[in-house]
C-alpha cells in the first residue's frame, strides 16, 4: 500500500493509520542507519520550519533544530514571548501569517485545542511538539526504540508507571496502532483521561493490542518487557496540590525491577527527577535504554519532517 504523508498534520498518533505509523518508523530506521554509516542527505534544502514554543524544552527543540539542519533546511525558533500571541493576536491569524513564511510549523503548548486551531488555519503542515494532553513525537520515537531493541512491537507488553499524563495518553494510542500491549499503572485518582482510554481501546481491536489500566505495580510488572516512567508532576501542573506520597509505590527502583522480567528494558522520556519516579541506580543501570531513547528523537524527527514537508 502506497503511503503518502506529504502535507499532513501530525497532531495525534490516533490520526495515523497502522500503515502510516509503520511507514514513519521504517523511514526513521532507514535515515538513522544511513546517517550512522556516514550518509548525508539534504531533502529539505531551502525549506524552513517555524517552531512555536510556549513551554520550555530540551529534547524537542534541539532534535527538531538539528533534524532540519542535518536535512539541509533551517529551523526558526519562535518563543511565545517574541510573538504577537502574547499581545492578543489570534492563533488563526498567526497560522495564516506563518504559512506565508515557512514550510511547516512545530508547536509546543498547553492546550490541544490550540494545536488543532493552528492546524485548521495553517496552509502548511503542523506537528504537535507537546501539549498537556498528548506528546506524539516522543512516543513515536519510543516505538522506534522498542522496535530497535526487541525486533518488533506486536505482542510486546509495556508497563507505564506514574501519572496518567500526556505520555500515558500517547503510549496508549501508539500501542493501539502498533499492536503493542500497554498497561497504565497509576494511583487511584491519577488515571488517564477516560476519553483517550476509550479511543485507544477501540483502536486496539483492529491490531489485537491490549490497553489496560491498573493500580497494582508489583502484579502488573510480571508480564512487562518494557518498563516506562515519567515525572510525577507534569510540566505546567507544578502548582497543583498533589500528594507525592501516593506515587512512591510506583517508583522504578531495583526492588521493583526484581519482581519482573530479568531483561526488561527501562524507559523514561526525560527530564528525570532522580530519586522520585526513578532511581539513579536504575536510570544508569544495564536495563536502561533512556539515552538511546533520547537519541532517537532526532532520527524520528528527521523521518517525520522528510515525510510531511
CB neighbour list of residue 249: distance below 8 Å, 6 or more residues apart: 187, 217
CATH number at residue 22: 3.40.50.1370
State the pLDDT at residue 156: 98
State the pLDDT at residue 236: 55
DSSP string, 100-111: HH-SEEEEE-S-
Q: How many degrees, rounded to 5, is the angle at CA 52 between CA 241 and CA 236?
A: 5
Give me the residues of the chain with pLDDT under 50, please: none
Query: Residue 283 domain-assigned?
Result: yes
Query: Residue 54 domain-assigned?
Result: yes
Query: Residue 71 domain-assigned?
Result: yes
State the pLDDT at residue 55: 85
Per the CB < 8 A criterion, the answer to whether 19 and 294 are in contact is no
Same domain, 107 and 161: no
State the pLDDT at residue 56: 83
Grid cell 503518502 — which residue? Answer: 4
Same domain, 113 and 179: no
DSSP class of residue 15 equals G
Same domain, 184 and 118: no
Tell me the pTM: 0.96
Active-site residue list: 108, 135, 138, 230, 269, 297
Q: How far apart are the first and last CA of the chain?
A: 21
Please say whether the dihedral angle defined by the alpha carbons of residues 303, 306, 308 and 309, taken in this order, is positive or negative: positive
State the pLDDT at residue 157: 98
Taking the CA of residue 207 as centre, how many other CA atoms within 13 Å lie in the half-sphere pointing to its CB? Answer: 28
State the pLDDT at residue 229: 98
Spatial separation of the C-alpha atoms in residues 232 and 248, rounded to whole Å: 10
Same domain, 157 and 283: yes
- What Rg, from alpha-carbon coordinates, does the chain have? 19
State the pLDDT at residue 243: 81
Query: Residue 186 domain-assigned?
Result: yes
3-state secondary structure at position 230: coil
pLDDT for 279-293, tens place per residue?
999 999 999 999 999
CB neighbour list of residue 61: distance below 8 Å, 6 or more residues apart: 51, 53, 77, 108
State the pLDDT at residue 51: 96
Query: Residue 6 domain-assigned?
Result: no
State the pLDDT at residue 158: 98
Q: Could you tell me the residue range of the domain that residue 65 belongs to?
A: 13-134+297-308
Amino acid at each position: 500500500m502506497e503511503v503518502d504523508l506529504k502535507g499532513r498534520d501530525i497532531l495525534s498518533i490516533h490520526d495515523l493509520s497502522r500503515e502510516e505509523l509503520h511507514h514513519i518508523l521504517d523511514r526513521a530506521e532507514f535515515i538513522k542507519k544511513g546517517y550512522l554509516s556516514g550518509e548525508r542527505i539534504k531533502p529539505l534544502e531551502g525549506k524552513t520550519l517555524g517552531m512555536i514554543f510556549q513551554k520550555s524544552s530540551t529534547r524537542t527543540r534541539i532534535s527538531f533544530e538539528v533534524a532540519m539542519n542535518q536535512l539541509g533546511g533551517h529551523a526558526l525558533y519562535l518563543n511565545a514571548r517574541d510573538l504577537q500571541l502574547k499581545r492578543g493576536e489570534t492563533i488563526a491569524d498567526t497560522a495564516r501569517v506563518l504559512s506565508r513564511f515557512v514550510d511547516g510549523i512545530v508547536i509546543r503548548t498547553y492546550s490541544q485545542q490550540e494545536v488543532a486551531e493552528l492546524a485548521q488555519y495553517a496552509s502548511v503542515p503542523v506537528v504537535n511538539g507537546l501539549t498537556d494532553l498528548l506528546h506524539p513525537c516522543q512516543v513515536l520515537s519510543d516505538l522506534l526504540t522498542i522496535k530497535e531493541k526487541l525486533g518488533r512491537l506486536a505482542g510486546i507488553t509495556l508497563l507505564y508507571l506514574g501519572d496518567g499524563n500526556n505520555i500515558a495518553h500517547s503510549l496508549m494510542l501508539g500501542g493501539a496502532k502498533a499492536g503493542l500491549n500497554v498497561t497504565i499503572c497509576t494511583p487511584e485518582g491519577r488515571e488517564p483521561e477516560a476519553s483517550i482510554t476509550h479511543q485507544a481501546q477501540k483502536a486496539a481491536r483492529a491490531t489485537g493490542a491490549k490497553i489496560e489500566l491498573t493500580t497494582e505495580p508489583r502484579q502488573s510488572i510480571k508480564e512487562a518487557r518494557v518498563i516506562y516512567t515519567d515525572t510525577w508532576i507534569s510540566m505546567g501542573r507544578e502548582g497543583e496540590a498533589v500528594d507525592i506520597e501516593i506515587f512512591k509505590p510506583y517508583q522504578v527502583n531495583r526492588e521493583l525491577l526484581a519482581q519482573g522480567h530479568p531483561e526488561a528494558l527501562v524507559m523514561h522520556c526525560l527530564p528525570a527527577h532522580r530519586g522520585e519516579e526513578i532511581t539513579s541506580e536504575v536510570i544508569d543501570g544495564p536495563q536502561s535504554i533512556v539515552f538511546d531513547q533520547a537519541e532517537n528523537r532526532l532520527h524520528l524527527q528527521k523521518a517525520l519532517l522528510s515525510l510531511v514537508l
